[in-house]
Structure 1
Amino acid sequence: MDNFTIGIISYLMGSIPFGFILTKIFLKKDIRDIGSGNIGATNALRTGNKLIGFATLILDISKAIIPVIYTKIHFPELIFIASLCAFLGHVFPIWLKFKGGKGVATYVGILFSINILFGLIFAISWVITFVSTKYSSLSSLIGSLSIPVYLLITGNANNITFFIIMFVLIFFTHRENIKRLKNKEESKTNIY
């Protein structure tokens, strides 16, 4: 029963579409009609309102932190179930006919909740890649790959399967970006 309850609550928290909600309330627009049509923070920046973009980022991170930290404290054996369900909630939100974001900000919240070091490794990898390329999608892919690579290098293979699964899921959500990167058609992101 705990598995099911934690999974459902984490999924529902993860599925709150903050990018969609903020653009509807403050810009009277549907974020799905803007830029890539994605509900995440990178596309929220494309609304031209950086405050909405950064607010979406913080809220998408927070909606993973809340259920994962709660689970870590009260049901530590279920932390990976909570993490996966929060991520899946963002990518496949019940409120938007299961068409959501790419899950990167939510994954950042998961990483910091599981182990602050993992969150820092992701963030450093993301920043280095982004400063070098200005591609948010490539930065997210490199950041996601950095965790299983770190675990392999340090010989700390405990739970590495979870982080490989997460990388594969993020790879999947970025499949269109990967095609555009290969064809040199991916648009660069301006976060300043």
Structure 2
Amino acid sequence: MILASFVIVALSYLLGSIPTGYLLVKLFLHEDIRSVGSGNIGATNVLRSGGKGLGAATFLLDVVKAAAAVWLGALLASILVPSMPFRDAQALAAVSAVLGNMFPVWLRFRGGKGVSTGFGVFLAAAPLAALSSIVLFTVVLLVTRYVSLASILGAASFPIFAWFMVRGDRPAPYIAAQIVVALLIILRHHQNIRRLVTGTENRFGRHTQEGKTA
């Protein structure tokens, strides 16, 4: 069980740590995304600094890699430790993939804020709850134009949506992983939260000299 858990954690972390935004900007623009805009490697900064196409590609690839990590984690558990509950394996893989995105070993542990990756692991583990969260994200973004606020509320809402929408067995690790991922995403937005409180946060679609993003 311990060895299988280690394998799931390691592979999920490595999948989650693939710096898609960094790689896409390097490949197509020959720039280091960490040196432009907010310095973040996530989809929002890529969108603002590299264009809509690269931003969308970063988001989609982050979602895919995260969902793949959760799927692979569950598959490995079924092969290596059939007695491990399916959703326990999903939970382990989900948290590991998000941590990989936030703290990728390839970039000296300076990664993204986990929004796209969080959505990906949520989508694999609880599709209806994830879709409900992305709807809330979209509504908040359209109303306020704050990507950070939309991300925070979208992440915070997922455990609530999952509680009411997920059917069947819901072991403690499965519930805990949802809360942990949501908290990680919110904590990674601590600087944005300060700017939201002080009224200095940048709205989506408005260029600022600092280029602060979600």
Structures share fold, TM-score greater than 0.5: yes
- Is residue 126–residue 162 contact of structure 2 (8 Å, CA) maintained in 1? no
Aligned-residue sequence identity (percent) comes to 39
Offset at residue 47 of structure 1 (A): 1.3
Residues 1:125 and 2:128 are matched in the alignment = no
* Offset at residue 133 of structure 1 (A): 0.5
Confirm or deny that 1:102 pairs with 2:104.
no
8 Å CA contact 1:104, 1:140 repeated in 2: yes
Cα shift at 1:48: 4.2
Match of 2:196 among 176, 181, 184: 181
Cα-Cα RMSD: 1.9
1:183 partner amino acid: T
- TM-score (norm. length: structure 2): 0.83
CA offsets, 1:106-138, max 9 Å, x none? 001001100111211111110111111111110
Whether 1:134 and 2:157 are equivalent positions in the alignment is no
Of structures 1 and 2, the one scoring higher in RCO (CA 8 A, sep 6+) is 2
Equivalent in 173, 176, 186 of residue 161 of structure 1? 176
1:177 partner amino acid: N
Please state if 1:114 is matched with 2:116.
no
Asked if the contact 2:25–2:50 (Cα under 8 Å) also holds between the matched residues in 1, the reply is: no
* Unaligned runs of at least 5 residues, structure 1: none
Report the TM-score when normalising by structure 1: 0.92
For this pair of structures, how many residues does the alignment match? Answer: 191
Gaps of 5+ in 2: 78-85, 207-214
Deviation at 1:153, TM superposition (A): 6.1
Tell me: CA distance 1:116–1:155, structure 2 relative to 1, closer, same or farther (3 Å): closer
- Give distance in 1, aligned partners of 2:165 and 2:15: 33
2:61 corresponds, among 59, 62, 86, to: 59
Deviation at 1:64, TM superposition (A): 0.6
Aligned equivalents of 1:67 and 1:168: distance in 2?
Answer: 20
| Larger CA Rg, structure 1 vs 2 | 2
